Chains A and B, each alone.
Chain A
């Protein structure tokens, strides 16, 4: 079992839809949770960052973390064609000196006009 599992997709939705992207993880030591967005032929860029369980909102984006279930989600409200990209979840633990990011494989989202 991989440390981080992400729904494989792809996902296609109409403009204006609410999108829910999810990741599960197995390592209880993960403390920091991130969502990256990667446009075609570009490098990933940080979208959202959370530390604790609960919700964090930034404009049309909401990141949710449930540490008890080892489950994180990214919600996109009023989705736009410009949201079409690959979304990767990432997480990190702080145990030891070898702190590193572990990524999900990513899900490709397409928002149809």
Chain B
């Protein structure tokens, strides 16, 4: 168990809908990262927050947004969902701000299915 929690575990929704994925980092970790994993694209970095501020951005669509709250938990909002958004969404956390030298601990993921 990495200490990172994600809810829900599974989410099934329809095209055009909006969903929110939630992540609680390990105790003491200030950075939260969001990743999308699909069979064709692999694991792709979406966005990083450090202590409430956006730190780095990857291949995140404009329909997706995230935020980190004062208690350091984070939410990833996905809107106007398309079939292609079906994937596993992982949250990871680390102590510091550097995505390369700080070990990232991954949560168990949320499996999103868009019908």
- A-side residues, CB < 8 A to B, are 31-32, 41-46, 49, 88, 92-94, 97-106
Q: Which residues of B contact A97 (CB under 8 A)?
A: 55-56
B58 and A100 form a contact (CB under 8 A)? yes
Q: Which residues of B contact A101 (CB under 8 A)?
A: 45, 99-100, 104
- B-side residues, CB < 8 A to A, are 2, 4, 41-45, 48, 55-58, 90, 92, 98-101, 103-109
A100 and B106 form a contact (CB under 8 A)? no
With A99-B98, A100-B48 as known contacts, state yes or no: A45 contacts B106, CB within 8 Å.
yes
Picked from A88, A92, A99, the residue with its CB within 8 Å of the CB of B43 is A88
With A98-B56, A100-B58, A106-B43 as known contacts, state yes or no: A43 contacts B100, CB within 8 Å.
no
Q: Which residues of A contact B103 (CB under 8 A)?
A: 46, 49
The 6 lowest CB-CB distance pairs between A and B, nearest first, are A43-B106, A92-B100, A105-B42, A32-B100, A103-B43, A100-B45
B56 and A102 form a contact (CB under 8 A)? no
Distance in Å: Cβ of A32 to nearest Cβ of chain B:
4
A95 to B106, CA, bound (A): 24
A99 and B100 form a contact (CB under 8 A)? yes
Query: Which of B45, B100, B104 lies at the interface centre, i.e. has the most chain A CB atoms within 10 A of its CB?
Result: B100
Question: Can you list 25 residue pairs at the A/B interface with Cβ under 8 Å?
Answer: A32-B100, A32-B101, A42-B109, A43-B90, A43-B92, A44-B43, A44-B90, A44-B106, A45-B2, A46-B104, A49-B103, A88-B42, A88-B43, A92-B99, A97-B56, A98-B57, A99-B98, A100-B45, A100-B56, A100-B99, A101-B100, A102-B45, A103-B44, A104-B42, A106-B43
B48 and A43 form a contact (CB under 8 A)? no
CB closest residue in chain B, given A96:
B56
Distance in Å: Cβ of A96 to nearest Cβ of chain B:
9
Q: Which residues of B contact A100 (CB under 8 A)?
A: 45, 48, 56, 58, 99
Q: Which residues of A contact B43 (CB under 8 A)?
A: 44, 88, 103, 105-106
